[in-house]
């Protein structure tokens, strides 16, 4: 977990949680823009990115660590796979006032990432899911080429365990949520995002981006997160 930037008074803190194969570095440009506007942010580094034995439960504990010591409400932004460990901790984290699912998995209890896609789930998963063969096409189709290649160089293998470990917790309280559909996404197709969005029962926003708007349109991303956070805690 990395610390907060200076905050505007009475505004919620934004906890930004990255997806599979990535790290908290992917939020750097968005954090910088939010900080310039006075927002406090934190990030979590999920252990399943790079650690073979880490799965949803280990990632969920890291999200909880990211919440420690924050005063006031928190708006959590979960990108892609991060929707799973974030959903896992909502019941245990009263500080969470709102969840933003950014082209993210919004699973039900008992579901897994691979199972959602109809793939067979291995009972005792080991090893890693390698970085996709063409990560630029999958993740960074609208990111400037030099920046896309720099991002690819930072990707790490993702634990298989994280993709086959089921969500085991359902929130015992109503936590409002928002879904952000990335309309040109090639990693999580828009039709699947629409299905996930229907599960959030909250507002749906859309960005004309591929899978990584925090790199391709960080200004639009930061503005949208700020708008959602203000509306969520008004």
* pLDDT of the residue at 10: 74
* pLDDT of the residue at 174: 72
The DSSP call for residue 226 is H
* pLDDT of the residue at 232: 87
Q: Which two tokens stand for residue 224?
A: 């949208």
Match 């996930």 to its residue by tokens.
Answer: 196
Q: Is residue 27 part of a domain?
A: yes
Q: Which domain holds residue 37?
A: 13-232
Reported as a single tens digit per residue, the pLDDT across 175-234 is 899 999 999 999 999 999 999 999 987 899 999 999 999 999 999 999 999 999 999 887
Q: Is residue 6 part of a domain?
A: no
Q: How many domains does the chain have?
A: 1
How sure is the predictor about 1, in pLDDT bands with cuts at 50, 70 and 90?
low
Q: Which of 148, 23, 47, 37 is nearest to 14 (CA)?
A: 37
Q: Is residue 214 part of a domain?
A: yes
How sure is the predictor about 170, in pLDDT bands with cuts at 50, 70 and 90?
low
* pLDDT of the residue at 171: 61
- Percent of the chain predicted with pLDDT > 90: 83
Match 């063409």 to its residue by tokens.
Answer: 134
- What's the CATH code of the domain at 122? 3.40.50.1820
* pLDDT of the residue at 160: 95
Reported as a single tens digit per residue, the pLDDT across 68-88 is 999 999 999 999 999 999 999
Q: Is residue 4 part of a domain?
A: no
* Chain mean pLDDT for the chain: 93
Q: Is residue 3 part of a domain?
A: no
Q: Is residue 217 part of a domain?
A: yes
Q: Is residue 182 part of a domain?
A: yes
| 124-133 burial code (b ≥16 CB/10 A, e <16) | ebeebbebbe
* pLDDT of the residue at 234: 79
Q: Is residue 228 part of a domain?
A: yes
* pLDDT of the residue at 73: 94
How sure is the predictor about 99, in pLDDT bands with cuts at 50, 70 and 90?
very high
């Amino acid at each position: 977990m990395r610390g907060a930037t200076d905050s505007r008074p009475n505004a919620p803190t934004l906890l930004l949680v990255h997806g599979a194969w990535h790290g908290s570095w992917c939020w750097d440009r968005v954090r910088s823009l939010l900080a310039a506007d006075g927002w406090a942010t934190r990030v979590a580094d999920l252990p399943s990115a790079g650690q073979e034995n880490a799965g949803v439960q280990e990632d969920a504990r890291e999200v909880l660590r990211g919440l420690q010591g924050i005063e006031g409400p928190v708006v959590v932004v979960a990108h892609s796979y991060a929707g799973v460990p974030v959903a896992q901790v909502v019941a245990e984290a009263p500080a969470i006032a709102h969840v933003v699912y950014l082209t993210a998995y919004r699973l039900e209890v008992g579901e897994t990432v691979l199972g959602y896609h109809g793939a067979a789930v291995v009972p005792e998963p080991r090893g890693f899911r390698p970085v996709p063969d063409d990560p630029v096409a999958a993740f960074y189709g609208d990111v400037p080429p030099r920046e896309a290649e720099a991002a690819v160089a930072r990707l790490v293998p993702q634990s298989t365990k994280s993709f086959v470990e089921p969500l085991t917790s359902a929130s015992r309280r109503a936590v409002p949520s928002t879904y952000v559909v990335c309309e040109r996404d090639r990693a999580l197709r828009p039709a699947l995002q629409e299905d996930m969005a229907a599960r959030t029962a909250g507002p749906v926003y859309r960005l004309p981006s591929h899978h990584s708007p925090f790199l391709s349109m960080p200004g639009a991303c930061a503005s949208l997160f700020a708008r959602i956070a203000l509306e969520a805690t008004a």
